[in-house]
Amino acid sequence: QQQVKQSPQSLIVQKGGISIINCAYENTAFDYFPWYQQFPGKGPALLIAIRPDVSEKKEGRFTISFNKSAKQFSLHIMDSQPGDSATYFCAASKYTGNQFYFGTGTSLTVIP
């Protein structure tokens, strides 16, 4: 059973547009939700993370929106840039745990 479901699989956005990636999770014991960014030839790197006690977290152009009742969270990239073109993974875990459950990834392409 897939613990975290991610959509869309791929996304093409014009420069300056908003990129939105959605994730849903099953296990209500999860209380830590990071997003990882992966460029070709590199491993994933932590981008931004949220805990369920807040509904939104913003870092620069990146925002996580969290809906605890729906068990969903999403990544919004404002003013998308070609340099944001990468694969994005959502994940879920227990805050103090080290077993992460990842989504299937979203390949984002930002067109100049």
Q: Which residues bind another protein (CB under 8 A)?
A: 2, 4, 9, 32, 34, 36, 41-46, 49, 89, 91, 93, 95-105
CB of 84 to another protein, least distance (A): 19
Distance from C-alpha of 104 to C-alpha of 99, rounded to nearest angstrom: 16
Q: How far is the CB of 52 from another protein (least distance, A)?
A: 13
Instruction: Write down the least CB distance from residue 53 to another protein, Å.
Output: 13
Q: Output 38 or 65, the one with its CB closest to another protein.
A: 38
- For residue 97 the two structure tokens come to 């745990």
Pairing status of strand 45-50 against strand 62-67 = unpaired
Q: Which is closer to another protein, CB of 45 or CB of 54? A: 45
Contacts of 17 (CB under 8 A, 6+ apart): 80, 110
The SS3 of residue 83 is helix
The H or E element spanning position 7 is strand 4-7
Nearest-approach distance from CB 49 to another protein, in angstroms = 7
Of 5 and 17, which CB lies nearer to another protein in the complex structure?
5
Complex with another protein: residue 66 or 102, whichever CB lies closer: 102
The Cα angle at residue 65 between residues 90 and 103, in degrees rounded to 5: 15
